């Protein structure tokens, strides 16, 4: 029996960021921190706001950037939800429209994917802590990162 996962769009996170801070570099690696200072969440399964105080740590080796963001979202009902979002950002090696294996890349011609994990004990939002998600990210101007979040079923 064969099973192919499907994705359902659940919401988009629009994280507003401020200027990236250089932390350091070592053997071919640069580490930086980008503060998350606000933003919004909207979609069919969740609406709310991104709270200030989180951030995105990135380690870049060559053209590949490994990301780890941690921040909070407050749902419209007041529930605070913790997010740890890990992923990768790099130019598509096969040109602006394709990545190895034919996977479509972002409009900017970059592979920018994340794996958000959510924590909350609020009954109305417990589904977030019990579901696997994939994020398709893209920059939107100089100070916003937009992440379309899909539930894997």
Mean pLDDT by 10 residues, the chain (153 residues): 90 97 90 97 98 96 94 98 95 59 59 94 97 94 94 96
How far apart are alpha carbons 137 and 72 in whole angstroms? 17
- For the domain bounded by 13-152, which CATH number is listed? 2.40.160.20
Enter the tokens of residue 60. 């870049």
Q: Which long-range contacts (CB under 8 A, 24 or more apart) does 19-25 make?
A: 23/57
Enter the tokens of residue 74. 């407050």
| pLDDT on residue 57 | 97
Residue 43 CB contacts under 8 Å (≥ 6 apart), including other chains: 9, 10, 11, 12, 149
Enter the tokens of residue 141. 């101007």
Enter the tokens of residue 147. 């992440």
| pLDDT on residue 14 | 97
| pLDDT on residue 90 | 85
pTM as predicted: 0.88
| pLDDT on residue 32 | 96
Enter the tokens of residue 10. 């659940």
How far apart are alpha carbons 67 and 65 in whole angstroms? 6
């Amino acid at each position: 029996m064969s099973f192919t996962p499907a994705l359902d769009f659940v919401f988009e996170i629009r994280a507003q960021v401020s200027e990236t801070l250089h932390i350091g570099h070592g053997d071919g690696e640069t580490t930086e921190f980008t503060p998350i200072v606000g933003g919004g969440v909207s979609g069919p399964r969740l609406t709310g706001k991104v709270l200030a105080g989180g951030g995105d740590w990135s380690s870049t080796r060559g053209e590949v950037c490994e990301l780890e963001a941690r921040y909070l979202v407050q749902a419209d009902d007041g529930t605070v939800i913790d997010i740890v979002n890990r992923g990768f950002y790099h130019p598509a090696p096969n040109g602006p429209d394709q990545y190895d294996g034919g996977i479509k890349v972002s409009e900017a011609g970059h592979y920018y994917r994340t794996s958000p994990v959510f924590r909350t004990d609020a009954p109305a939002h417990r589904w977030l802590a019990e579901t696997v998600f994939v994020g398709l990210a893209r920059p939107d101007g100089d100070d916003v990162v937009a992440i379309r979040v899909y539930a894997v079923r």
